[in-house]
């Protein structure tokens, strides 16, 4: 089967199956062999790896994954693409295609079934309308993960990688960095996709920590604090936390905690590192 990274091949397969791009599924197919090679290199796929691909589309990246990995599981929501995938992946014996919604799947069970419970690699050109829910679901459900290498909106990649004090820094940066080390592997312009998306894209590589970089007594509480701190970005951290009804924190407790940490009372959440949020969480949880 001809490589789909070459635009002419993608065009002819789309015509043959009369495929119309489904905007509601975030369908922007890759048509650039250099970008595909970069993704495979960034994900460091070897012949020992089991790889889960989210949204194979017409199988463009899947072909590369099959060439390089031991086994590939591709999860595609759009039923219309199944006959296409049957043809475009017909050369490979090491691939299974599941017609499912990734957000409704038990991915832990996939790792168990296909990889004996060992950490898996996830590779995807993600549908942008659900990038954050997919990534957070992978991390928060404690699926055994080695790495997640994904194409996302450039702006989202910047947020994942951002550090304290920058305008991109927020709840997503802290959540991602709690679970993984984030590194942008490539910036990808709009003309590498068909149809062209409205925004620039980037490949981000998330290497999952074997151990979380900070210890915190109550992980859930820390993330509630983080969300509350960034919900009202313009407010001081103290006001942001005290105004959050769900947290029901007393002003004097927050003030005492900030003082204990040697932070000024007017500090904003965007100044705090993950380590500082963990410490603040330990001081306030159970109050
Ligand atoms: N991997 C292909 C490529 O690089 O050309 C297609 C990428 S396209 C950006 C995203 C793909 O994810 C589409 O094929 C879309 O149908 C699929 N998709 C969207 N939502 C999904 C979901 N909830 N579960 C599984 N696949 C989904």
**What are 92-124's pLDDT values in tens digits?**
999 999 999 999 999 999 999 999 999 999 999
* Residue limits of CATH 1.10.8.100 in the chain: 219-284
Do the Cβ atoms of 124 and 205 come closer than 8 Å?
no
- With 0-12 / 13-18 / 19 or more C-beta atoms within 10 angstroms meaning exposed / middle / buried, residue 221 is middle
What's residue 16's pLDDT?
Answer: 96
Residue 56, ligand 1, Cβ within 6 A:
yes
- With 0-12 / 13-18 / 19 or more C-beta atoms within 10 angstroms meaning exposed / middle / buried, residue 52 is buried
Could you tell me the pTM of the whole model? Answer: 0.94
The answer to which of 122-136, 184-198, 229-243 has the lowest mean pLDDT is 229-243
Q: Give, to the nearest 10 degrees, the angle between helix 171-179 and helix 131-140.
A: 40
| 78 CA → ligand 1 middle, Å | 8
Which of 31, 55, 75, 76 has most ligand 1 atoms within 8 Å of CB, for mutation?
55
Q: Give the integer Cα–Cα distance in Å for 134 and 102.
A: 8
Top CATH class of 7-208 equals alpha beta
Nearest alpha carbon, ligand 1 atom 6: 57
Residue 54, ligand 1, Cβ within 6 A:
yes
Check whether 245 has a pLDDT greater than 90. Answer: no
| 126 CA → ligand 1 middle, Å | 6
* Residue limits of CATH 3.40.50.150 in the chain: 7-208
Check whether 164 has a pLDDT greater than 80. Answer: yes
Residue 151, ligand 1, Cβ within 6 A:
no
| 166 CA → ligand 1 middle, Å | 31
| CATH code matching the domain that covers 219-284, chosen among 3.40.640.10, 1.25.40.10, 1.10.340.30, 1.10.8.100 | 1.10.8.100
Check whether 287 has a pLDDT greater than 80. Answer: no
DSSP 83-140: HHHHHHTTT-SSEEEE---GGGS-HHHHHHHHHTT--EEEEEE--GGGHHHHHHHHHH
| 252 CA → ligand 1 middle, Å | 49
pLDDT in tens, 20-43: 999 999 999 999 999 999 999 999
Closest atom of ligand 1 to CA, residue 30 = 5
């Amino acid at each position: 089967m001809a490589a789909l990274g070459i635009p002419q091949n993608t065009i002819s397969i789309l015509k043959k199956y009369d495929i119309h791009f489904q905007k509601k599924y975030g369908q922007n197919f890759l048509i650039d062999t250099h970008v595909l090679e970069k993704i495979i290199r960034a994900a460091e796929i070897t012949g020992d790896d089991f790889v889960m691909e989210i949204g194979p589309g017409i199988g463009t990246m899947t072909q590369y994954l099959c060439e390089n990995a031991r086994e590939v599981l591709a999860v595609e929501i759009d039923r219309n693409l199944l006959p296409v995938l049957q043809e475009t992946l017909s050369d490979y014996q090491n691939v299974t295609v599941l017609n499912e919604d990734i957000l409704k799947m038990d991915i832990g069970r996939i790792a168990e079934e296909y990889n004996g419970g060992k950490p898996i690699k996830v590779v995807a050109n993600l549908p942008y309308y659900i990038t954050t829910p997919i990534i957070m679901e992978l991390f928060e459900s404690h699926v055994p993960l080695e790495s997640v290498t994904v194409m996302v909106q450039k702006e989202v990649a910047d947020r994942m990688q951002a550090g304290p004090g920058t305008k991109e820094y927020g709840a997503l940066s802290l959540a991602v960095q709690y679970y993984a080390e984030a590194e942008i592997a490539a910036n990808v312009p709009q003309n590498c996709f068909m149809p062209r998306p409205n925004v620039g894209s980037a490949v981000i590589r998330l290497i999952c920590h074997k151990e979380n970089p900070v210890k915190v007594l109550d992980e859930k509480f820390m993330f509630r604090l983080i969300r509350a701190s960034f919900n009202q970005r313009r407010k001081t951290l103290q006001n942001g936390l005290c105004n959050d009804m769900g947290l029901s924190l007393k002003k004097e407790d927050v003030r005492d905690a900030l003082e204990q940490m040697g932070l000024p009372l007017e500090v904003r959440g965007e100044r705090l590192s993950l380590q500082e949020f963990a410490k603040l969480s330990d001081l306030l949880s159970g109050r």
